[in-house]
Structures are given as C-alpha cells and as structure tokens.
Structure 1
Amino acid sequence: MPRVFVQGKPVASYFPHAPEARRGSVRRITETGEAVLHKPCRDVTEFGPELAALIDDMFLTMYVADGAGLAANQVGVDLSLFVYDCPDDDGVRHVGHIVNPVLEPLDPAGRRLLDDGEGCLSVPGAVMDVPRPDRAVVRGLDRDGNALVIEGTGYFARCLAHETDHVNGQVYMDRLSLRERRQALRQVADRRDEVLARRAANEAELRR
C-alpha cells in the first residue's frame, strides 16, 4: 500500500515538508475569540498567484506550529480553504490543500464515532476529547480550480472534519459542553506561553 498520498493520489516518495513551504512566509495564527474564526469563510472565486502564495504561507505556518492542518481564517484570511499534512491511523501520510471544501454527509448507520483527543493551533495548548466519525469525504477544488475529492479515515478523517469546521466558522470548542470549554481555556492559560515559545523557536531555526 502506498505510504504517501498527495492531493488524494498515491505517490512513490515525497519530501519531509511539502515544497510549497519553501516559497512561503510565516503568518500569525489567529486565536479563538477573534472574529475571523467565528463566521463562515467566503468561497474562493479567483484562482491565481495570490491564492498560490497564500497556500505557500499556510503550509510554512502550519509546519512552524507543528500542526497537521491549517485553515485560511487561522492566518486571518476569510477564504474557504485549508492545507494539511496528516497521517491516518495506519501511518499513511496525506498531504495537500483543498479550496471551497464541503464535507459530505455520511450515512449515520454506517459510521463509527471516535472519541479522541483533539487540539487546534488557534486554541494553543488545549487538547480535549471530541467525537468525530471515523471516515470523512471532502469535495472541493485545487488551487487551479480543478475538482478534488479527498477521503480519510481515523485521525486523518478527524483532521478533514476539523478543518472543514474552521471554514464554516466553527472551532472545536464549539462542540464541547460549557464545563469542557472552561477546562480547555484553563489548559490554554497554563500552556499558551510554552506553545508560542516553541513556535518562535521553530521559526528562528528556519531562518538560520
């Protein structure tokens, strides 16, 4: 079985980081409470160099923050797209981007819910159990406007659902009870400085 899928297609080998990151610049990651994270993003209607440059920046920003996925509103841009570099539960790596993503509804009778720890780069330091289906299918476009379908299972399905939530104006804390949200915010208060310091160190290392 192939060990890497890029844009949903198997490849024989791939780079440690997506090549887009080499062209990118690091952007500030927005945090929960900022308006751009809490409203649905606008569909992308223009495909060209500006969109490509945004994707490059998003890949690099995701890697600096040790993330598995990153949506455009997490770098302050209210456009509907996300990037990802994420393993599934079988250790297969999935790398790519998707524009105007739509998560397909799954047959409730045929899906299994996984309750597992989930974090978010916009909720720095918090990890909470969030139930998600163990399979996800997302339809959208690539950076050139070509149709794209990405399927994932296990942890990668969680990533696809999490990032699609972002473009719809939801953070994972919206899926928690009030008590759980308070617990997550306590974790942020305890760990945020450490998380941001690690990101700054990663960025400094890149610049060397």
Structure 2
Amino acid sequence: MALRNIVKIGDPILNKKCRVVEKFDDKLSNLIDDMFETMYDANGVGLAAPQVGMLKRVVVIDVGDGPMELVNPEITLTEGEQKEYEGCLSVPGKQGMCIRPAKVQVKAQDRHGKWQVFTGEHLKARCFCHELDHLDGILFTSKVIGKLEG
C-alpha cells in the first residue's frame, strides 16, 4: 500500500466524469488499498478515485462502522432530507451547508466484481452522495447553501 497525493480544487480532473471499471484485477485492488490508506492518513471519511488522480468509478468510505469499497456505484434509493455542513479532502479548510437525502441506498461492486447493496442514513448518506458526485465531476462547493466557510 502507498499514500497517494490528494488532488486539490482547481485541478481539472475533479471536474471530469469517471469511466466505468471493467477490469477487476490486482491494479484495481492496489488502487482501493491505496485509497483507504490515503483517506485514513488524511482523517477523511470518504475518498473518490479522481481525488487521487484516477478517472475510475471507485469510492472508499469509512464513517466509523467499517470500510466500504464501492466500484461502479449507483444510488438506487433516496428518502427524506438533511441539511448539514460538509467538507472535502480536495477543498482543505473549507466547509459549507448542503442539503442531501437523509437516507440513501447504493448498489456497487467490490474489488472482485461482486455486486452488493449498502444503505446509509445521516453521515453515511451524505458521504455516499458526496463521493458519488465526485465520480461525475461535481464538487460539494456547487451545492453549498450560502457561502463557503473557513
């Protein structure tokens, strides 16, 4: 495993749409392992592949109840609404109030290509939405109500 550099706001890769993962191999496993190590080292709860310079539909999340690897994730269900502050490892020192669904269900593959379903509420739901937005080139800064703080 290795730490990767986290891409910061202003880098055009953060505004690009990621490609679907079709090869489930050692290269993908290494990317996922590196992303977890990088996220934990930066004290984050989620990290998307474009944040480490890779245009692949890969996300890692750990909001405190164990690590989740999401390859080719899709939101399949949303319920309710929550309004909370968000930050981002690619936008250091800044945060802003965002509206997200209160409950989110995501279908995704693991590093071996096996499909699974995850459901999250509160922080996990926000994290799912925030990280999956990264895969479509969307930063939380475009969803901030009011102004960015910090």
- TM bucket by the smaller chain? over 0.9
Q: Counterpart amino acid of 2:127?
A: C
For 2:18, which of 23, 41, 60 is the aligned residue?
41
Preserved contact between residue 16 and residue 136 of structure 2 (Cα < 8 Å) = yes
SS in 1 for 2:10: coil
2: CA distance between counterparts of 1:38 and 1:32? Answer: 9
- 5+ residue gaps, structure 2, are none
Rg: which structure is higher?
1
Shift of 1:112: 2.2
Preserved contact between residue 4 and residue 52 of structure 2 (Cα < 8 Å) = yes
SS in 1 for 2:27: helix
**Is the aligned partner of 1:85 residue 2:62?**
yes
1:144 is matched with 112
Cα distance change on mapping 1:94 and 1:151 into 2, 3 Å: farther
2:5 is matched with 28
**Is the aligned partner of 1:70 residue 2:47?**
yes
2: CA distance between counterparts of 1:174 and 1:105? Answer: 22
SS in 2 for 1:145: coil
TM-score by length of 2: 0.94
2:72 is matched with 100
> Which protein is richer in strand relative to its size?
2
TM-score by length of 1: 0.69
- 5+ residue gaps, structure 1, are 1-23, 88-92, 188-208
Q: Which has the higher contact order (CA 8 A, sep 6+)?
A: 2
List aligned pairs for 1:168-207, cutoff 5 A: 168-176=136-144, 180=147, 183-184=148-149, 187=150
**Equivalences, count:** 150
SS in 1 for 2:74: strand
SS in 1 for 2:107: strand
2:91 is matched with 123
> Which protein is richer in helix relative to its size?
1
